Amino acid sequence: QLQLQESGPGLVKPSETLSLTCAVSGAPLMSEIHYWAWVRQPPGKGLEWIGAINYSGNTYYDPSLKRRVTIFTDTSKMEFSLILTSVTAADTAVYYCARGRLLSDYFDYWGQGALATVSS
Amino acid sequence: QSVLTQPPSVSAAPGQRVTISCSGSSSNIGSKYVSWYQQVPGTAPKLLIYDTSERPSGIPDRFSGSKSGTSATLVITGLQTGDEADYYCGTWDNSLSIGVFGGGTKLTVL
């Protein structure tokens, strides 16, 4: 059974960098039919698609975040990561990692979520 | 604003039927599969429907999905109090080359 687990600091100062990691277990990270994504949810609001990476290392980012976001995989550690620079209070959210299915574009497995608060 | 448009809330009595709409465009719903997610507050989203109308194993047939043109619909029949949650539609947008979600619909079972 695939499991995803997010980890990272719960508190980040404004203008600093948020780094989150998603540990993958129970399924291969390098899959030709899946991709790995980050989705966030600000308090009291809806889901926001941040970005994704496929088995070829191709990345896709939301245009509004593209200047500040990087997603990469570490196959030796079976994990993928999110880097978000120059954070502001608007980046406060629960961040989910998820597995996406290529072509169908649905997320079948999700992590439990990690709250990241941007505050001084 | 979300690329996909959902009603903020819907409500119905136990045992009744409710529909949740998701409106998009030719670059997303009109040309791609749609998925639906159920999220109980404080928990991660759960896949309800994939490939527009398919149910993952373990999802009861009370939940069904369909699409017509650039709009998709989630139908829940035989409503139960345990169905109270937020529901999101999702798909890929070919013009933006990103995944997109609807703004979410809060279901209240009266």
Give residue-wise pLDDT tens across range B28-51: 999 999 999 999 999 999 999 999
Residues A49-58 pLDDT 10s: 999 999 999 9
- pLDDT computed for residue B107 by the predictor: 98
Check B90 against A60: CB less than 8 A apart.
no
Contacting residues of A for B45, CB less than 8 Å apart: 39, 47, 96, 107, 110
Q: Which residues of B touch A51 (CB under 8 A)?
A: 98
CB spacing of B101 vs A104 below 8 angstroms: no
At B14-31, the pLDDT tens digits run: 999 999 999 999 999 999
Strand A69-74 relative to strand A79-84, pairing:
antiparallel
- Of B5, B14, B1, B2, whose CA–CA distance to B71 is shortest? B5
pLDDT value of residue A62: 96
Interface contact A16, partner B, CB < 8 A: no
For residues A73-90, average pLDDT:
96
A61-65, A90-94, A100-104: lowest mean pLDDT where? A100-104
**Above 90 in pLDDT, residue A17?**
yes
Contact A116, A10 (CB under 8 A): yes
Residue contact A63–B98, C-beta within 8 A: yes
Residue of B48, B74, B92 to mutate for A, most A C-beta atoms under 10 A? B92
- Identify the band that residue A48 occupies on the pLDDT scale cut at 50, 70 and 90: very high
* Confidence bin at A103 (pLDDT 50/70/90): confident
Q: How far apart are CA B9 and CA B28, in angstroms?
A: 23
Mean of the pLDDT values across residues A60-78?
Answer: 95
Contact residues, B window 9-48, toward A, CB-based 8 Å cutoff: 32-33, 35, 37, 39, 43-47
A63: nearest CA in chain B?
B96
Closest CB to A62: pick one of B37, B46, B98. B98
Which CA distances in Å does B61 have to A42, A53, B91? 31, 33, 22
**Band (A7; pLDDT cuts 50, 70, 90):** very high
Q: How far apart are CA B64 and CA B76, in angstroms?
A: 7
Determine the Cα–Cα distance for residues B38 and A63; give it in Å rounded to an integer.
Answer: 26
- With bands split at pLDDT 50, 70 and 90, how would you rate the model's confidence at B86? very high
Pair type for strands B35-39 and B9-12: unpaired
